[in-house]
Structure 1
Amino acid sequence: MSQITVPPGFDFQQAGKEVLEIERAGLAQLDRYINNDFSRACEAIFQCVGKVIVMGMGKSGHIGRKMAATFASTGTPAFFVHPGEASHGDLGMVTSNDIVIAISNSGESSEILALIPVLKRLRVPLICITARPDSAMGRASDIHLCISVPQEACPLGLAPTTSTTVTLVMGDALAVALLKARGFTAEDFALSHPGGALGRKLLLRVNDIMHSGEDIPRVGKDAMLRDVLLEITRKNLGMTVICDDDMNIAGIFTDGDLRRVFDMQTDLNNLPIADVMTSGGIRVKSGTLAVDALNIMQSHNITSVLVADGNHLLGIVHMHDLLRAGVV
């Protein structure tokens, strides 16, 4: 039975550091198992025209779920199948085009062993990850990956600790090696993470969020400053574009420009905008990533950029648009 009180002088930090030392030793030994069998496993997965099916019971199952998730998000279609459920119908998810990765530290998981004859009959390639190449699973595998460790971090030698860490790292090694072999890019990664911050940063483009058409604050080149101030107030973007009827950009005028005009002590009602506008204006193309537009704004210390095709105005993106889109 567990003790209710902490033993006198017990050092939690020391106990934690001992776990790190033991698990580091296990990971150091894993290097020897990144060998020809590892290369064969990567090649088999790379050539697979179906999906990678990962299986495991107990703690191995938890690691297997993470392994499948990592594969799936890095360009290798994969999913986890519980061995117990597989024996009761879920094995129908597996086809001859797939490849199975089965995980068991002992290599003697009865639930997985019960499935192997069916997998062999379907001619499904089998990669087994165990600590014992001579185990029943090791002997039955087409490719065996060893994850043997010197000892578990659990002082009883019972709770899977070092072994699960090493198995997790073996899965990461497979996934990342395949990612590199496929030439998988950050944009590819974003496509499988559209709901996250990374997806928004790598998929969202300025044309998805820009103000266009009648929402663009703009005035003609012959406008007076008072007309400009009314347009800035109506469109509420803190700036306006000065352009002709064909949307060819002449310049911009911002809140900051207005503060400088006040310092000029001139007649604001009769001041042509052409005399005080900033020519040109910083602009990006419509296909520019929103995160790149953000970087441009930050580097120039501005709050909006023009979206244009050459000198032809298409829209405006404001910092607030990026905030609402979750890019900032």
Structure 2
Amino acid sequence: MSTITDIARHTFRVESEAVGALASKLTGDFEGAVRAVLACRGKLIVTGMGKSGLIGSKIAATLASTGTPSFFMHPGEAYHGDLGMISPQDVVLAISNSGQTDEILKLIPFLEDNGNIVISMTGSSGSTLARHSRFHLDVSVAEEACPLSLAPTSSTTAALVMGDALAMALMHERGFKAEDFARFHPGGSLGRKLLTRVGDVMRRDNLPCVPPQMLLSDVIIEISNARLGVAAIMEGDRICGLVTDGDVRRAMQKYRSRFFEIRVEEVMTRTPKMILQSARITEAEEIMRRFKIHSLLVTDGEGRLTGIVELYDLMSDNTHVNF
């Protein structure tokens, strides 16, 4: 008698085997489908009924977020008026495991008359939908994971993976980059990292700026008040160095009773790491990690100090963005 764990393992095995078999089912139609979508001057419209429709919605979302304009169209709604959203320049991806889904087949006369290229994704190359398609993607499976062989399981997984393969191939051919992905996901952490500039997150108010002749004992107060852990050393509007709270602590340990006589220019870093305010925060993060530092002076294009950015500002999802 099968246990609950046995059923889970059986499901994993059957569905993984179904996915593994997809590679052997690829034909020239897959590349043809990719080329057709690349040449498309409209959108890739995905349609499917029931569970295939749910998979189609996910595929359309993946395509849209990876550089291929796409949306899902419910075949039932399409037959009752939504066909008006399809232009002759669009390519249609129709998903049906049997290839005989009535709601999908009813759309074929319109799509043929409208001049749309149809890509089908079915489990039967001899089905009506496959025969009326320009390109056919075979997602047939040996068995469903369902013990009754009724609930779409392996078949929907295979369709989902084939859709992912289509999206990834299109990404590759379009030269789609992480920056492009971020543009479509500005609300996520990746979008924030790749789109946000240093000037958007830097501290710009009440910056701790001190002259090189200031005593370290006074610099401690400036650093403490600013709560940044560093102070910029300035001669007029020229940056001449940087001192950190770590520099101050090491000076206290080194000079001991002479500490109150030491001026900041004696311990400051004379060539501090700096970054332009127009740089992406990923660049700032890389500099900090490479040199094992926690703060950067931020400058404008003319070399003037405009802010200070700390590693915390780059890592925190709750950072206020100064737009």
TM-score (norm 1): 0.90
Q: Which moved more, 1:189-198 or 1:281-290?
A: 281-290
User: Matches of residues 1-328 of structure 1 in structure 2 within 5 Å?
Assistant: 9-212=1-204, 214-246=205-237, 248-263=238-253, 264-308=255-299, 312-325=304-317
* 3-state DSSP of counterpart to 1:278: coil
Q: Which digits, 9 at most, give the CA deviation of each residue in 1:273-323, with x for residues without a partner?
A: 212222221222333331332233234333211123586433210123224
The residue identity in structure 2 corresponding to 1:68 is: A
Q: Residue 249 of structure 1 contacts residue 280 of structure 1 at CA under 8 Å; is this kept in 2?
A: no
CA shift, 1:161, in A, is: 1.1
Within 1, Cα distance between the matches of 2:35 and 2:87? 19
The letter of the residue matching 2:287 is I
Gaps of 5+ in 2: none
Deviation at 1:70, TM superposition (A): 0.9
Structure 1 spans left out of the alignment, 5+ residues: 1-8
| Cα offset, 1:154, TM superposition | 1.5
Distance 1:15 1:191, change over 3 A: same
Amino acid across the alignment from 1:293? A
Q: Is the 8 A contact 2:220 2:245 kept in 1?
A: no
Match of 2:142, SS state, is coil
Where does residue 5 of structure 1 map in the other structure?
none
TM-aligned CA deviation for residue 39 of structure 1: 0.9
Please tell me the residue identity of whatever aligns with 1:51: K
Deviation at 1:252, TM superposition (A): 1.1
**Equivalent position amino acid for 2:245 in 1:** D
Moved more, 266-275 or 155-164: 266-275
The Cα shift of 1:186 comes to 0.8
Measure the CA separation in 1 of the matches of 2:139 and 2:2.
32
- The total of aligned residue pairs comes to 317
Alpha-carbon distance in 2 for matches of 1:157, 1:173: 26
Q: Which region of structure 1 is more displaced relative to structure 2, 72-81 or 85-94?
A: 85-94
CA distance in 2: counterparts of 1:326 and 1:67, whole angstroms: 31
Q: Give the superposition deviation at 1:50.
A: 0.9
Residue-by-residue CA offset, 1:250-278 (whole Å, 9 max, x unaligned): 11111111212222124555432212222
Moved more, 218-227 or 248-257: 218-227
Give the C-alpha shift of residue 80 in structure 1.
0.6
Contact 1:197/1:326 (CA < 8 Å) preserved in 2?
A: no
TM, length-normalised to structure 2: 0.91
Cα separation, partners in 2 of 1:301 and 1:25, compared to 1, 3 Å:
closer
Aligned residue for 2:277, secondary structure, equals: coil
* Aligned-partner residue type, residue 233 of structure 2: I
Distance 2:124 2:273 in 1: 63
Percent of aligned pairs with the same amino acid:
46
Which whole-Å CA distance do the structure 1 matches of 2:251 and 2:14 have between them?
A: 70
> Whole-Å Cα distance in 2 between the matches of residues 26 and 275 of structure 1?
69
> Residue 256 of structure 2: SS of its match in structure 1?
coil
Question: Shift in Å at residue 138 of structure 1?
Answer: 1.4
- Tell me how far 1:118 sits from its aligned partner: 1.6
C-alpha distance after superposition, 1:82-102 (max 9, x if no partner): 111112222222111111101
